[in-house]
Amino acid sequence: MIRALLFCLTASPTFADTVVAARTIPPRTVLMAEDLKEIAQDIPGGIADAASIIGMEARVALYANRPISAASLRMPAVVERNQVITLIYDTGGMMISTDGRALDRAGPGEVIRVMNLGSRNTVSAKIGVDGAAYVGR
């Protein structure tokens, strides 16, 4: 009886689910529910909740039945390389905007290089959710 009670009280290993790719997914693909599946295995560095990454974009190729890590995903790009975008300098109540050319592909919150089309100078700017590049924030 005591042995059975001790067995019930001891910690038994529990496993969390890990999200894997259901098929090989090429880079720049926005993930949908049918691209993912969960396996009953806890893999360090793997993502445990498939719902949390639906709508994210693959940075690199994701191979079938391999765990997906957070480093291999990003927010979907709102700016493409060579796209003309609004370049905004906003500081201390003063706002200046001009046209710029994106020198990289980026999603919201990422910092990229943008060429000011008026002066031909290159600046680092953070991409907003509206697709504009913000300098000096």
- CA 2 from centre of chain: 51
| Residue whose pair of structure tokens reads 């913000």 in the numeric block | 134
Domains in the chain, CATH or no CATH each: 14-74 (3.90.1210.10), 84-135 (2.30.30.760)
pLDDT digits (tens, 9 = 90+) for 1-52: 444 444 444 444 555 788 999 999 999 999 999 999 988 888 888 888 888 9
Q: Which residues contact 22 (CB under 8 A, 6 or more apart)?
A: 34, 35, 36, 37, 64
Report the C-alpha gap between 12 and 130 in whole angstroms: 49
Separation between Cα atoms, residue 101 and residue 123, nearest integer Å: 10
**Which pTM does this prediction carry?**
0.69
Whether the Cβ atoms of residue 71 and residue 57 lie closer than 8 Å to each other: no
pLDDT digits (tens, 9 = 90+) for 86-131: 999 988 889 999 999 999 999 999 999 999 999 999 999 999 999 9
Cα atoms found within 13 Å of the Cα of residue 94, Cβ hemisphere only: 6
